[in-house]
Structures are given as structure tokens and as C-alpha cells.
């Protein structure tokens, strides 16, 4: 074997081998880096989830009769706050209220067709301070059931409540004042 031929072959082959080894090393490094980054993102999300799991979620109404948004405890300086776990509205006071005399509550569309039976929701709902409006109660019910309606669609619904005093039918479009009793808005103005 000719020494010069081996020397030429060696000097021609080494750069190709070096380039190939360098390329595969960079590919392997990039793959390992990507897997480590994925693992660290997963670990951070897991830790954040575990740390936030003990905090309760609240729904805050920035304005009365508006769509609420969900926040963790600590941001409760709003006109109305709903705590889904307790089924409790907080309106900034200490007086407690509840829909005690509701026997049955139904949400109906403009054709008077029954859309939802809200009886169980009304039986469990309570509040501190300023009472929620019936519109806010219906809106909260829909959101807890994962239903989203436009303001116009929700305003077209009526709430038919059977109380110990009789049946009351109230349009949600006109039920945007804090709840103070089952009189319709026209009856409340007459008294």
C-alpha cells in the first residue's frame, strides 16, 4: 500500500467525518435541549397548578348585570362577587338573604317554552349584602351550566317562579335591580 495514497485518503476523509460528527452532535444536542425544555415547562405548570389548587375561584361582576369573569381570591373589590363553590353572592354588606319561598323556578323563552328548570339553583343560592338581580341569577345559572347567551337573547327570557304566594312571571330584561321581592316592576312602582 502506498503511503501517499493513505495520507491523501486520510486527509480527504477526516473533514467529512468531522463535519458529519459535528452535525449529528448538534442534532442530538438540539433534541435533548428541546426535551429538557418540554420537561421544565411541564414541571412549572404542574407546580403552579398544585400551588393554585388550594385557592378558590370567584366570579366578579365589574358592573352590575354584566358578564362576570373568574379570578382567584384576593381581587374582590367589585360591586358583586359570586362564589360558585358556596353558591353565594357577596354584595358588600353583612345582611344575609336567600330565596326561601321559591317552590319552583323556570327559565322560559319568548314563546313560553320551558328552557331550564332552575329550582335547585334557587334553593341553594344565598347572598350577603346587596342582593343579586334576577338577571344576574339567570346569567350565573347559565354560566354554571356552560351556556352562553347574548344580552338580547337572555333579556328575552322570562323567569317563572312559583313561590308560596303564587306564580310570578318576570321578564329578565326588566329584572336588573337588586332582588327585593317577587313583585313585578309594575307592581313595585304601584306600591
Over the range 3-39, which residues count as b (16 or more CB within 10 Å of their CB) and which as e? eeeeeeeeeeeeeeeeeeeeeeeeeeeeeeeeeeeee
Nearest in space to 157 (alpha carbons), one of 139, 180, 179, 182: 139
Kindly tell me the number of DSSP H helices and DSSP E strands found in the chain.
5, 10
State the average pLDDT for the chain.
Answer: 84
Determine what percent of the chain is predicted with pLDDT higher than 90: 31
Q: Grid coordinates in use for 102? A: 321559591
Q: List Cα–Cα distances, 20 to 14, 33, 126, in angstroms.
A: 10, 20, 72
pLDDT at 11: 76
Confidence of residue 45 (pLDDT cuts 50, 70, 90): confident
Q: Pinpoint the alpha helices (H) of the chain.
A: 3-52, 119-124, 134-144, 151-155, 185-190
| pLDDT 10s digits, 74-101 | 556 788 889 888 899 988 778 889 988 8
Do 102 and 182 form a contact (C-beta atoms < 8 A)? Answer: no
Give the least confident one: 27-41, 43-57, 128-142. Answer: 43-57
CA distance 33 to 40: 10
pLDDT at 35: 92
Confidence of residue 73 (pLDDT cuts 50, 70, 90): low
Amino acid at each position: 500500500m502506498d503511503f501517499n495514497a493513505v495520507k491523501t485518503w486520510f486527509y480527504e476523509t477526516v473533514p467529512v467525518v468531522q463535519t458529519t460528527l459535528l452535525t449529528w452532535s448538534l442534532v442530538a444536542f438540539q433534541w435533548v435541549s428541546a426535551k429538557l425544555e418540554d420537561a421544565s415547562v411541564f414541571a412549572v405548570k404542574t407546580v403552579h397548578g398544585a400551588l393554585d389548587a388550594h385557592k378558590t375561584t370567584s366570579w366578579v361582576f365589574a358592573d352590575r348585570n354584566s358578564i362576570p369573569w373568574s379570578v382567584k381570591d384576593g381581587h374582590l373589590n367589585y360591586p358583586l362577587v359570586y362564589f360558585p363553590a358556596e353558591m353565594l353572592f357577596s354584595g358588600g354588606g353583612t345582611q344575609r338573604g336567600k330565596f326561601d319561598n321559591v317552590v319552583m323556578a323556570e327559565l322560559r323563552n319568548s314563546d313560553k317554552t320551558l328552557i331550564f328548570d332552575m329550582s335547585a339553583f334557587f334553593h341553594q343560592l344565598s347572598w350577603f349584602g346587596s342582593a343579586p338581580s334576577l338577571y344576574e341569577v339567570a346569567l350565573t345559572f347559565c354560566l354554571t351550566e356552560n351556556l352562553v347567551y347574548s344580552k338580547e337573547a337572555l333579556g328575552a327570557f322570562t323567569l317563572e317562579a312559583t313561590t308560596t304566594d303564587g306564580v310570578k312571571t318576570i321578564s329578565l330584561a326588566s329584572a336588573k335591580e337588586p332582588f327585593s321581592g317577587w313583585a313585578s316592576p309594575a307592581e313595585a312602582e304601584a306600591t
